[in-house]
Amino acid sequence: MKTIHYSLQDGIATLLFDEPNSAVNTMCQQWKDDLTAVVQQVLADRAQLKGVVLASAKSTFFAGADLKGTMRLQASDAPQVFKDIEQVKKNFRTLETLGIPVVTCLNGTALGGGWELALVGHYRIAVDSPKIQLGLPEITLGLIPGASGITKMTRLLGLMGAQPYVLESKLFTPSEGHALGLVHELVADAGALRERALAFIAAHPASMQPWDDKAYKIPGGTPSNPKILAGLAVAPAMMKKKTRGLYPAPEYALNAMVEGAQVDFDTALRIESRYLAKLIVSPVAKNMINTFFFNMGAIRSGASRPKDVPRYKPGKVGILGAGMMGAGIAYAQASRGIATVLKDVSLEKAEHGKAYSARLTQPKVEKGRMLPMAQEALLGRIQTTDQASDLKGCDLIIEAVFENRALKAQVTQEAEPQLAVGGFFASNTSTLPISGLAQASTKPSKFVGIHFFSPVDKMKLVEIIRGRDTDDETVARAFDYVQSLGKIPIVVNDARGFYTSRTFGTFVMEGAAMLGEGIPAPVIENASMQAGMPVGPLAVLDETALSLSVHVLDQTRADFQAEGKTYAATPGELLVERMVKELKRPGRAAGGGFYDYPAGQKKVLWSQLKPLFEKSVAWDLQEIKDRLLYRQAVETARCLQENVLTTVHDGNIGSIFGIGFPAWTGGALQFIYGQGIEAFAARCAALAQRHGAGFALTPEVLATLKKHQPVY
């Protein structure tokens, strides 16, 4: 056996998991074959066995499924998947019904299939470390815990108690698992695991799983219990509201929980297997595995970070501008232990920005999730000032002032001399090209874009923009700085709007264009959310300010004119310009835009949209959804071809976490690859014929897509 080492000593059979040429153990096909073989060996040795120990030779216990193998599955493979998972469960059941104690020794993390393997043990011992994670994250990857995880967690915690850990993929530490009864014993270090396992085996010569006891009852009751039934009655509707029917995994998992709770244990396992076999070969599962496992893993490992640059964390960071963005960045830094200097034109404005951190932390103190002294320490890391001299010695200074080139140049020249030796400067601009802004710097090679998203405390993505002269060291340091904040960095090359703002602009302007064509505003907004976008394009334009879009349009026209060119505004841009300049509807902050905002009530679409724009035109709901998604995907593909994006993983992660592209697609590029480049191109051609060149794909773009297509 290649992935499992079997040994028998003094009546104790040890199954030591150790997949060769891999940093972690996975449920690869070789492991499945080895498991069947080792279980047969255990049965052959049964007469002399006192107990079984499950352990790992890796620094972690077990990582779970072989996801590369999953990516290669086709729809026709579903029957074989069912057979394979049933064989794994048969092996699990053989071990746990031997009648002798089986002990799981958790020396490290056990997630997904790894936790399901851990649950084979009648007794689970874990190293008491907060760094160890246990649980079932499958839902986040578009899958379900189908190797007995749903069935066992439901029987251990009950239908209601198991929901956070199954449906919401809530993970837990060994100590938290101990409090839940999922981990039976904690030890200080891995060296004590085997000793405690042998002690349990000696004290419990006969062992069985709780559900194999004739007196067993599911905690809290079955679905027929009136209290349980009341909660289950509304659960599907609540889930549909949350997923909009686009994510089958939570629905399948809930079905398996409820259906399995009404039958015997082994039947419940088969129900679970059927749901997994259907789901694992689905496009949504593949899309989500590709992006949330492989793409996210690439970013976390620093695949986009320039190599051969030492890891870096600034000790002191200055922020210019204490408005919403600057205040948010200050909080993000201070909460991660970074000394922060928050500067504005007046001390009063700087203090107002610092007060934002106080408002964010106060509810945590009131709810007991944060100690007052911790809040005080966090606020103590934020120094407010109106003097540039207080920035002296900063390793990094970030300007977060209004989107105006002259203003940004002024604050750059004022603050840059205060940098520590070897320090670098960054702009938080969302649209203005970094190479142009760097002209105000005395060291363009040490000038970079670090584009945070609003609100900073909630948005995980940060877009790092390499200017024309930005050197590798500066990009690498910016990457490390962003990771030190617990955020997700993507790296892009300089261009107007970079990647996220440029692509996001196509979404909102396509929505505005459809309004100008006469399509009812409620249809546009609802179609967007049915496609999986978090909000409609008109609502987003209101939140970000229509006036800001017009400001960007005016700046773009001026830039083109300076180059001796003329910028041709899109129909959407022209409609937004009319809303601001003619109809005096600049957005939410200024009283209203596409929506009205009655005091104390929900926002409502502006009543004049219907008479001003709505026409008797034929519209198709699927076509509207496609226009909103395909337009963004096309722009993302263009960014890849133009080298604004240099990797597929930055495009997918950036689109989901930066602009809200639907997670079920796996991101804007996976949306293309998931359906096939040829099918995507054919649909784009049809959309371009009816709705313009925004949907057109050039041969160069198609060639780039093929070049970057992932292979598993």
What is the rounded distance in angstroms from the CA atom of residue 108 to the CA atom of residue 131?
8
**Residue 237 confidence (pLDDT):** 86
Tell me the one-letter amino acid at 212: D
Could you give the CA distance from residue 160 to residue 166 in angstroms, rounded to a whole number?
Answer: 10
pLDDT score recorded for residue 511: 98
How far apart (Å, rounded) are the C-alpha atoms in residues 628 and 605?
19
pLDDT at residue number 462: 98
CATH 3.40.50.720 in the chain, residue ranges: 316-496
Distances (CA, A) of 484 to 278, 298, 709: 40, 17, 31
Contact 32, 20 (CB under 8 A): no
SS (H, E, C) 358-415: HHHHHHHHHCCCCCHHHHHHHHHCEEEECCHHHHCCEEEEEECCCCCHHHHHHHHHHH
State the pLDDT at residue 608.
97
Residue with tokens 């057109």: 696
pLDDT of residue 552: 86
Q: Cα-atom radius of gyration of the chain, to the nearest Å? A: 28
What's 291's DSSP letter?
I
Task: Specify whether the CB–CB gap between 347 and 368 falls below 8 A.
Answer: no
d(CA 465, CA 452): 11
* Beta carbons of 78 and 277 less than 8 angstroms apart: yes
Q: What are phi and psi of 110, to 5 degrees?
A: -140, 105
Q: Tell me the C-alpha distance between 232 and 162, whole Å.
A: 13
Residue intervals in the chain for CATH 1.10.1040.50 = 501-643+647-708
Closest to 34 measured CA to CA, from 6, 68, 73: 6
In contact, 400 and 415? CB cutoff 8 Å? no
pTM of the model: 0.92
Region class of 307: left (phi > 0), else alpha (psi between -120 and 50), else beta: beta
Q: For position 149, what pLDDT does the model report?
A: 98
Topology annotation, domain 316-496: Rossmann fold (3.40.50)
4-281 is a CATH 3.30.565.10 domain: no
Q: What distance in Å separates the CA atoms of residue 173 and residue 712, rounded to the nearest whole number?
A: 32
Res 234: pLDDT: 83
- What would the pLDDT profile of 161-197 be if each residue is shown by its tens digit? 999 999 999 999 999 999 999 999 999 999 999 999 9
Which residues belong to CATH 3.90.226.10 in the chain? Answer: 4-281
Q: Can you list the residues of the chain whose pLDDT is less than 50?
A: none
Domain 501-643+647-708 in CATH 3.40.50.300? The answer is: no
